[in-house]
């Protein structure tokens, strides 16, 4: 008589251990800073955020290679990436010559604006009142001077120093171009009126009277830009805070 034999036991699959999530970086933010709930902070070094600064939704800050210091009154826009993410850290760090144990701090001084999609590598310094436009890339060790501007899509090579009051563009497959921003007197009535109107609006003065007496200088234009930036920052603070409230 034939007997039915039970099928051979199949080896049970061992559950695979889940990978540990990257560590959350220690964040020290001033009470007046505005930080979106969807911003990412990962790493082992501290991240400092100064007075009145704004971190937009989906901004990513990675402090695996060194601390990140963001000064007062800065705007870190949507989809900005500061530092190297963990998935690319080992490979990219070896390519660009970062060494373990060395401090590659990212320093962003006061009143700096990083537009959407800007990438900042470890060891970069952005000095006060500088502006970095959309999709620009700042490679490791470069320095952006005070009141300088990096135009949209520009790639600044590693260890390059951009002087104060200089505008740069290009740098992706072609030589990076630069020119010094005007700081002397100019005679453009259109720009003069715009600068005077912005300054007058901030002080509650008669715009027509101020514009008529305005004498345009590069520094005056820059001061007017910073006034407008302050108003933009106030508006963004309300928008980001409202977005955080809706998610809760």
Tell whether 224 is covered by a domain: yes
For the segment 215-235, what is each residue's pLDDT rounded down to a tens digit? 455 666 667 767 777 777 777
Residues 171, 194, single domain; the answer is no
Tell me the pLDDT band of 211, cut-offs 50, 70 and 90. Answer: very low
Q: Which two tokens stand for residue 227?
A: 């006034």
Range of the domain at 68: 27-180
Q: Give the number of other CB atoms < 10 A from CB of residue 101.
A: 4
Pairing, β 81-82 against β 119-120: parallel
Polymer length in residues for the chain: 248
Q: Which two tokens stand for residue 213?
A: 């007496």
Residue 190's pLDDT is what?
45
Residue 166's pLDDT is what?
93
Give the global pTM: 0.71
Tell whether 47 is covered by a domain: yes
| Last residue within a domain, chosen from 160, 180, 200 | 180
For the segment 119-130, what is each residue's pLDDT rounded down to a tens digit? 999 999 999 999
Pairing, β 177-180 against β 166-169: antiparallel
The DSSP symbol for 60 reads E
Which residue has better confidence, 85 or 173?
85
What distance in Å separates the CA atoms of residue 1 and residue 3, rounded to the nearest whole number? 6
Element (H, E) at 191: helix 189-203
Number of domains in the chain: 2
Tell whether 63 is covered by a domain: yes
161: number of CA atoms within 13 Å, CB side?
Answer: 2
Q: Residue 148: pLDDT above 70?
A: yes
Residues 165, 103, single domain; the answer is yes
Q: Which two tokens stand for residue 115?
A: 């537009």
Tell whether 8 is covered by a domain: no
For the segment 30-81, what is each residue's pLDDT rounded down to a tens digit? 999 999 999 999 999 999 999 999 999 999 999 998 999 999 999 999 999 9
Q: Residue 169: pLDDT above 80?
A: yes
Residues 89, 194, single domain; the answer is no
Residues 131, 34, single domain; the answer is yes
Q: What does R_g of the chain's alpha carbons equal in angstroms?
A: 24
């Amino acid at each position: 008589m034939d007997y039915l034999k039970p099928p051979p036991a199949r080896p049970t699959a061992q559950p695979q251990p889940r990978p540990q999530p990257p560590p959350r970086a220690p964040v020290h933010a001033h009470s007046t800073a505005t930080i979106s709930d969807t911003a990412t902070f990962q790493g082992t070094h501290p991240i400092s955020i100064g007075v009145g600064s704004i971190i937009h939704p989906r901004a990513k800050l990675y402090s695996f290679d060194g601390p990140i210091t963001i000064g007062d009154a800065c705007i870190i826009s949507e989809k900005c990436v500061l530092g190297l993410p963990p998935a690319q850290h080992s490979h990219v760090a070896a390519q660009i010559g970062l060494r373990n144990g060395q401090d590659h701090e990212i320093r962003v001084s006061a009143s700096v604006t990083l537009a959407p999609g800007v990438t900042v590598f470890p060891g970069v310094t952005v000095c006060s009142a500088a502006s970095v436009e959309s999709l620009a890339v700042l490679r490791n060790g470069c320095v952006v001077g005070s009141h300088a501007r990096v135009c949209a899509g520009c790639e600044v090579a590693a260890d390059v120093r951009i002087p104060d009051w200089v505008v740069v563009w290009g740098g992706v497959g072609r030589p990076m171009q630069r020119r010094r921003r005007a700081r002397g007197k100019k005679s453009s009535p259109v720009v003069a009126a715009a600068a005077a109107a912005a300054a007058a609006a901030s002080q509650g003065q008669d715009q027509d009277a101020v514009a008529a007496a305005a004498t345009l200088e590069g520094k005056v234009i820059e001061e007017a830009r910073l006034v407008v930036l302050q108003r933009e920052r106030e508006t963004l603070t309300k928008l980001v805070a409202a977005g955080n409230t809706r998610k809760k």
